[in-house]
Structure 1
């Protein structure tokens, strides 16, 4: 995690200098590499906690929403001055602070060591009862001639188990679409508002409104999630979000669309931490950390694929194609969540 955060420091230092476009793109790749590792590791850590993991996961992702809320406030201001790249100096300062904070907190320790330090036994310890070092000794199977105990077959690797676990793949597909929808709205909604609703230079603040809603929803709706049930409540949030997205699509009203975007952010906000919490409930603890990393990695892939798709479609059909794309992807996301099992089918 410390090295991944340092990647962000390098990336923002390059971008703050307004380099040639190819180098600018390479810096984004370095940044994305750092973000993906931190995202996977942080989710693995919180999902592995034994005390109030749901609330802590909500807080973790609310802070993500806070950062996403602040970034457009900064970028919108710097976009209106000649030295626009100085926006990345702000990001550089945040990345430096993050690196120092991670170093002071983690200091190179492993996930298992950090879990022990906060009073949560690591997943390997909680799954120890499933590890039988000698099947023959347990079952009394031995050779009648030599008396040798039959050795146990070697356990399959964690990655093999992750790849064969259907629940992991369904959750990865769900997060792939979810993060793609989230990032597409947060980025392309500004272009939509400017081109289709006549928004001015301050349209970037609508992106802040979306991520501000994301932040608020991940904390303010915790009680709703607990009362209704985290698995069931996702369907309600999705239906409401799809309805509001259709309103933005069909009702040409600048202020109304801006408010609807913020509410959609609040509704989408809880979905990511709910998925990570659900993974902690339905997946074997022995592969939980690796599964979380796999799922989060698919989320990062979605954040790359869907904005690219939006750009390709808008170049051919116009930015109005954004809304039908989002509505259809939200529907797919809801179907994928319905396919995710509601409980574990076997013990650890």
Structure 2
């Protein structure tokens, strides 16, 4: 994705708007998938008769999907144009939801998360890189990542409403995601119809080998770049915080705070609602007052509200604290992507940002999985000290991220 038709233009043409909207909708779709797991976890445990340690398999499967995408991303980018890659990602995500709604065996249900994650990795990492290449990218990145949070906000409401009504038939919720997946494919077909093609028609064997060699070279160069690892470390802990909190908060409130499942099933919506508002309202102040300084302030505030969530044993207080935690958590993802787009060379930017996404998902898979394994022995209350350590590590990792040599705009 080194040259987009609208990369360096601020003209609000119909083509420009449809591409931004389609990119935003792909993140909304991803959010509806990620946002529902916390609300559905208690139902998964009870329907399939598994323990919290088995939920770790879902996060491991998700991580494997991101690894698969990372290993193939640079090669796909050499042969397929942007629209074609986005379409592959959209189709894979729809396929995963089609395999879920009829209450499949637990093993197949777990595998669908690998398929879904690979599709999300293809579509969202390339959508992100496309948007990052546009002038004034911090605003558009704020928009598409706010759309992800909006999806995460909507999803728990729908999931809890359906699951509380149909009981063991809760997988019917995934029909909702099937519908969104169809719209997602339609959006790609319309917005990126000019990019639904191979990058080359007829080429020699030498050209094919050269493309493969260049793809491998980009990947190796990415692996040799220290900023890639340092920014990835921040995302590793950051997604660990967000997904661990969102994934286990309902089970925590049910088992530790004695909440009623139909009521506390909506609490993740408070977290994601806070993230959505944070991404909408804090994007511009973060950019204006300094991304590095403001992000560190957010880390401190997140830690403060996490301590309130842990130490104040009140359901209402917990819900309010988790909402404010999400609010200050909100702008950090887009801020990191904005900095990454300036730190990485344009030639390796798609591969580098894809690599960051994968290591981020490693944290988003590893720490919720570890929480489940530890919870099977020590109880879900172990989530709280785990979150405190992760937030502290996130702040430390941010200090290590290199400064951008010069500030655009």
User: If the length of structure 1 is used for normalisation, what is the TM-score?
Assistant: 0.83
Q: What residue in structure 1 maps to residue 188 of structure 2?
A: 102
Q: What residue in structure 1 maps to residue 83 of structure 2?
A: none
Conserved? CA contact 1:12–1:89, under 8 Å: yes
308-317 or 283-292, larger mean C-alpha shift = 283-292
Q: What residue in structure 1 maps to residue 310 of structure 2?
A: 249
Distance verdict in 2 for CA 1:156–1:187, change over 3 Å: closer
Q: Once the 2 structures are TM-superposed, how far is the Cα of residue 344 of structure 1 from its aligned partner?
A: 3.2
- Once residues 320 and 404 of structure 2 are traced to their aligned partners in structure 1, the CA distance between those partners, rounded to angstroms, is 36
Gaps of at least 5 residues in structure 1 are: 114-153
Is 2:350 the partner of 1:289?
A: yes
Q: What residue in structure 1 maps to residue 364 of structure 2?
A: 303
Is 2:74 the partner of 1:74?
A: no
Give a deviation string over 1:207-237, Cα, whole Å, max 9, x none: 0111111111001112320332111111000
Q: Once the 2 structures are TM-superposed, how far is the Cα of residue 108 of structure 1 from its aligned partner?
A: 6.7
- Once residues 45 and 61 of structure 1 are traced to their aligned partners in structure 2, the CA distance between those partners, rounded to angstroms, is 13
Give a deviation string over 1:223-273, Cα, whole Å, max 9, x none: 320332111111000001001111111110110110110111111111110
Q: What residue in structure 2 maps to residue 178 of structure 1?
A: 238
Give a deviation string over 1:288-346, Cα, whole Å, max 9, x none: 2221111111122222111101101111111111011011011111111101111239x
Give a deviation string over 1:51-86, Cα, whole Å, max 9, x none: 210000000100000111111111101211132111
Distance verdict in 2 for CA 1:251–1:293, change over 3 Å: same
Q: Which of residues 83, 87, 90 in structure 2 aligns to 1:2?
A: 87
Q: What residue in structure 2 maps to residue 54 of structure 1?
A: 138
Distance verdict in 2 for CA 1:344–1:158, change over 3 Å: farther
Q: What residue in structure 1 maps to residue 253 of structure 2?
A: 193
Q: What residue in structure 2 maps to residue 134 of structure 1?
A: none
User: If the length of structure 2 is used for normalisation, what is the TM-score?
Assistant: 0.71
Q: Once the 2 structures are TM-superposed, how far is the Cα of residue 156 of structure 1 from its aligned partner?
A: 9.1
CA RMSD for the aligned pairs? 2.0
Q: Which of residues 294, 297, 303 in structure 2 aligns to 1:236?
A: 297
Secondary structure of the equivalent of 1:286? coil
Q: What residue in structure 1 maps to residue 274 of structure 2?
A: 213
Aligned residues: 304
Is 2:242 the partner of 1:157?
A: no
Q: Which of residues 64, 77, 86 in structure 1 aligns to 2:172?
A: 86
- Once residues 124 and 286 of structure 2 are traced to their aligned partners in structure 1, the CA distance between those partners, rounded to angstroms, is 23
Give a deviation string over 1:92-120, Cα, whole Å, max 9, x none: 10111101101111137279x9xxxxxxx
Structure 1 runs (4+) greater than 4 angstroms displaced? none
Is 2:285 the partner of 1:224?
A: yes
Residue correspondence of structure 1 range 252-263 to structure 2 within 5 A = 252-263=313-324
Q: Once the 2 structures are TM-superposed, how far is the Cα of residue 155 of structure 1 from its aligned partner?
A: 12
Is 2:263 the partner of 1:202?
A: yes
- Once residues 194 and 88 of structure 2 are traced to their aligned partners in structure 1, the CA distance between those partners, rounded to angstroms, is 10
216-225 or 154-163, larger mean C-alpha shift = 154-163
- Once residues 92 and 344 of structure 2 are traced to their aligned partners in structure 1, the CA distance between those partners, rounded to angstroms, is 31
Secondary structure of the equivalent of 2:347? helix
Higher Rg of the two aligned structures: 1
Is 2:376 the partner of 1:319?
A: no
